[in-house]
């Protein structure tokens, strides 16, 4: 165990778990992050079941642990009516109004995770967990902590200074690997992500990473998400010489396949990336020479669709295939069926069209979205970006 491992396993046990319940405060817009490999869902079979995954030509048995403190599935996972309106509300901020960002949300919508600046530091950050709106704060050692996912039981994964970690019930532990970077955690505690630039999974927080099979040649990449039934993993691999992205799917029977390239403006995309998966739906991006736009695949029908009026990669996806993304003017949007798009409202404090709203997570039923909304303007940095929820109906 190296020195950073010792710091995470000892210091975090000693210091984690304080709670703040103060009213909202304004936050500085100084902690902006680029998009990380998107996240979520669950690698789990029926309780007590066994899933067999063939990796590198050999059987791999994944035993599914019972969900940890998980809520039941969100009621009404298939709404009878597509939402037509949403309301935005601010999440509570820690005492002092430090810069704060939402990073992910559990598929049930119960837990939202983020990070906030540590007292007296611009590079160290504390973990925030909103549990049904009640704010919990954990002081993590190290710099540049990035929480990337939270499962329905409130277990969080993330990384700091090239070391992955798992936070559970007030205690954090280092994730095994050389340079582990987790992206998502299942209900039963199975983790997917990357280690030394290659897609991997961890059967538990204490197990060594297992590489996911790749095509012949030299590749780099990461696993970004897993389905609730544990049958499918998605991710992106790239040729390090060309940096061209390939959206990939791995299934429990050991097969792997590349998702078809989407079409953008009448021409095939030059590359693609996969971000999230729920059921048969995969969210991600179609890449062109100059830009990227959200893309959506249906694994059952083979349908591939792009959203040219939006920008970048789509994030989480609901059971109906609805995705969160941003549009060109900087609004957070909910991408619905076909080309239907629902623009999410901005905060009343928003006064500068140059600032963007960024949705980060969507519940399985598609009616709750967590993210970050701009407030004020570039000339008033004391306002900045605030963590929010959008409730749709």
Matching CATH number, 3-392, of 3.30.70.1400, 2.60.40.10, 2.130.10.10, 3.40.50.300:
2.130.10.10
Residue 341 has what pLDDT?
A: 94
Any residues with CB less than 8 A from the CB of 171 and at least 6 apart, and which?
Answer: 12, 13, 16
Q: Looking at the DSSP assignment, which residues form a beta bridge with residue 387? A: 372
Residue 310 has what pLDDT?
A: 92
pLDDT averaged over every residue in the chain = 80
Contact 54, 348 (CB under 8 A): no
Higher pLDDT: 81 or 370? It is 370
Residue 377 has what pLDDT?
A: 74
Burial of 110 (0-12, 13-18, 19+ CB in 10 A): buried
What's the whole-number mean pLDDT along residues 48-57? Answer: 31
pLDDT of residue 72 exceeding 50, the answer is no
pLDDT in tens, 16-33: 443 333 333 323 332 333
Task: Say whether pTM exceeds 0.85.
Answer: no
Contact 336, 342 (CB under 8 A): yes
What's the whole-number mean pLDDT along residues 307-333? Answer: 93
Higher pLDDT: 292 or 70? It is 292
pLDDT of residue 15 exceeding 60, the answer is no
The confidence band for 213, taking pLDDT boundaries of 50, 70 and 90, is very high
The confidence band for 122, taking pLDDT boundaries of 50, 70 and 90, is low
Edge-first strand order for the sheet with 198-202 is: 180-185, 191-195, 198-202, 210-211
Residue 80 has what pLDDT?
A: 54
Among 7-11, 42-46, 365-369, name the one with the lowest average pLDDT. Answer: 42-46
């Amino acid at each position: 165990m190296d020195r950073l491992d010792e710091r995470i396993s000892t210091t975090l046990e000693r210091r984690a778990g304080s709670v703040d319940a103060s009213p909202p405060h304004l936050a500085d817009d100084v902690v902006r992050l680029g998009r990380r490999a998107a996240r979520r869902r669950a690698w789990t079979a029926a309780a007590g079941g066994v899933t067999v995954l063939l990796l590198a030509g050999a059987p791999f048995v994944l035993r599914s642990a019972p969900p940890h403190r998980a809520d039941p599935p969100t009621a009404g996972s298939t709404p009878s009516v597509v939402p037509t309106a949403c309301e935005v509300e601010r999440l509570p901020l820690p005492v002092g109004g430090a810069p704060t960002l939402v990073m992910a949300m559990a598929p049930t919508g119960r837990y939202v995770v983020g990070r906030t600046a540590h007292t007296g530091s611009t590079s160290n950050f504390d973990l925030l967990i909103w549990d049904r709106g009640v704010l919990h704060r954990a002081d993590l050692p190290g710099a540049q902590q990035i929480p990337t996912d939270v499962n329905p039981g409130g277990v969080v994964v993330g990384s700091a200074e090239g070391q992955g970690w798992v936070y559970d019930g007030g205690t954090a532990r280092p994730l095994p690997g050389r340079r582990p970077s987790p992206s998502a955690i299942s209900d039963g505690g199975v983790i997917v992500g990357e280690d030394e630039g290659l897609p991997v999974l961890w059967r538990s927080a204490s197990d060594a990473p297992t590489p996911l099979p790749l095509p012949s040649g030299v590749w780099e990449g990461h696993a970004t998400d897993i389905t609730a039934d544990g049958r499918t993993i998605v991710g992106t691999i790239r040729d390090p010489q060309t940096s061209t992205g390939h959206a990939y799917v791995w299934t429990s029977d050991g097969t792997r396949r590349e998702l078809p390239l989407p079409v953008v403006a009448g021409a095939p995309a030059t590359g693609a990336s996969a971000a999230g998966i729920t059921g048969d739906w995969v969210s991600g991006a179609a890449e062109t020479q100059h830009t990227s736009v959200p893309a959506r695949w249906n694994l059952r029908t083979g349908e591939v669709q792009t959203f040219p009026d939006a920008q970048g990669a789509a994030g989480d996806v609901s059971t109906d295939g609805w995705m969160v993304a941003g549009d060109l003017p900087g609004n957070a949007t909910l991408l619905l069926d076909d080309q239907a798009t629902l623009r999410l409202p901005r905060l009343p404090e928003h006064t500068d069209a140059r600032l963007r709203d960024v949705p980060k997570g969507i519940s399985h039923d598609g009616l709750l979205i967590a993210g970050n909304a701009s407030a004020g303007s570039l000339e008033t940095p004391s306002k900045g970006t605030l963590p929010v929820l959008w409730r749709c109906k």
